[in-house]
Homo-oligomer: A and B are copies of this chain.
Amino acid sequence: MGKIKQVAVVGGTHGNEFSGIYLLKKWQRKPELLHRPGLSIDTVFANPKGFEENKRYLDCDLNRQFTLADLANNELTNYEQSRAKVINAQLGPKGNAKSDFIIDLHNTTSNMGPTLILLKSDDFNKKMGAYVLAKMPEAVVVFEDQVSMEEHYFLASIADQGVIVEIGPQSQSVIRQDVLDWMENMTQAILDFVELYNSDNLPELPSSYDAYSYVESIKLPMDENGERIGMVHKNVQDNDFKPLTKGDPIFTLFDGGEITYQGDYEAYPHFINEAAYYDNNLAMSLGKKITVSLD
């Protein structure tokens, strides 16, 4: 890949995830905080109407609208589908994008700490993970590289390189200082990394590190009418990135019963009991632990 020149830092893709929105305000007042030699950095407030109405979205989840097919589909006309096309014109177009790199800032209600979600596992992303972990030992790196950038529906996939900064736990529509600080530190570390990667000046990085790779999302227990009949088990709640093995309780039913994990792999749950995922009755994501090698 060529050098990264044009960078977009995006906040407020979900209108009730406040950290990115307030960081954008700060950086718009003090743009020098984002300056890096060789980089041109824009900030984008993706869903201002969502923020105004204090909701994740008005019509549909903006961060699911960025497949090439949907961007090209002019029948998709609601607010977020329209915003997706406008943002794609502004930062993209996807496949031939003006932006070389996008950082999209998110919050989760789950106890994920400062998580860096990488959409590719090439040299650039693998080294970014190592660099961010070196600067923030409390951080976690998750690869969601199961599909190509073209097929990814995330905003950050408009550019050839894009990452999601995902920090929690934070209730929707709140600003927590610890979460804000983590998001600011991770964003700054990523920009430092890009500058150092561009100029081939990276510090020595470990030869390998632990990370997680997304496998699947699992649903809350429901009855035949689609009504929820259970909740995340208290042993799992808040234990993002702690392993689940076959037979571990995973859900508690409202009638008192339990459901155990029956997968055939050691699963690392994350996005556990994320409020926004109730729309689709998702209980959590499961990943595998991986070792990332830097050659």
Q: Residues on A close to B: CB < 8 A?
A: 22, 25-26, 54, 109, 169, 171-178, 180-181, 228, 231-234, 237, 252, 254-255, 273, 275, 278
Contacts and interface: CB of A to CB of B under 8 A. Distances in A.
Contact of A177 (B22, B25, B172, B232): B232
Nearest to A110: B171
B26 A171 contact: no
Copies of the chain in the assembly: 2
A252 B173 CA distance: 18
Contact of A174 (B177, B181, B275): B275
A76 to B, nearest CB: 23
B177 A254 contact: no
A234 B275 contact: no
A171 B273 CA distance: 10
Contact of A237 (B177, B228, B278): B177
Contacts of A234: 176-178, 181
A239 to B, nearest CB: 12
